[in-house]
Amino acid sequence: MFILGLTGSIGMGKSTTAAMFADAGCAVWDADAAVHRLYSRGGAAVPAFQAAFPDAVIDGEVSRPALKDIISQDPTALKKIEAIVHPLVGQDRASFLENAQSDIVVLDIPLIFETGGNKRMDAVACVTVPAGTQQERVMARGTMTLEQFENIRAKQMPNAEKCALADYVIETDTLDHARAQVLAIIDDIKGKLTHA
């Protein structure tokens, strides 16, 4: 089994690219979706949050807006939250890998380089578009202000740095171009698997 990390900054087309890998027969695990499952009613993170941050649990679910409020009021809260969530996300990922039925597994992890997760991958692919396109895409979603977007971008590793660290770079300027690159990467990995 070949484990490919997939990363990219906000608005770069990572989710769309992950779906292309899935369409091509790769097993895909999404870190954000895992957190969503953990936070949902009955999710594994709910009891731990109930104990550590009871205000964050609303109607049996962990509320992201409530967590944001808690973090803004208590800067030490983020470390405590990460200490709850990261091991649970790791368990979710391990269980996915154990059950994956594909030669190529794609782990969609936004902060793979920032967290050192790239060391556990066989290779990493990074999605990219020019900064102007990135901003247009995020603003078109209508879910955040320009200031919120700039804050998120400032916290993420610069795109050029991610691309330099990645084994593969996927330009997501058009769907067809992105899809062609995804298929080329899969072919390259399959070549490595047959010669291994």
Beta-carbon contacts of 178 under 8 Å, excluding residues fewer than 6 positions away, are 13, 16, 17, 20, 127, 170, 171, 172
Domains present along the chain, CATH in parentheses: 1-26+104-196 (3.40.50.300), 32-101 (3.40.50.300)
Three-class DSSP labels, 54-113: HHHEECCEECHHHHHHHHHHCCCHHHHHHHHHHHHHHHHHHHHHHHCCCCEEEEECCCCC
pLDDT tens for each residue of 84-100: 999 999 999 999 999 99
Q: Cα(first)–Cα(last) distance of the chain, in Å?
A: 11
pLDDT at 154: 85
Band of residue 152 on the pLDDT scale cut at 50, 70, 90:
confident
Phi/psi at 157 (nearest 5 deg)? Answer: -60, 140
pLDDT of 125 above 80: yes
Q: What is the pTM of this model?
A: 0.89
Query: CA angle 5-156-140, nearest 5°?
Result: 95
Residues 23, 168: Cα–Cα separation, whole Å: 19
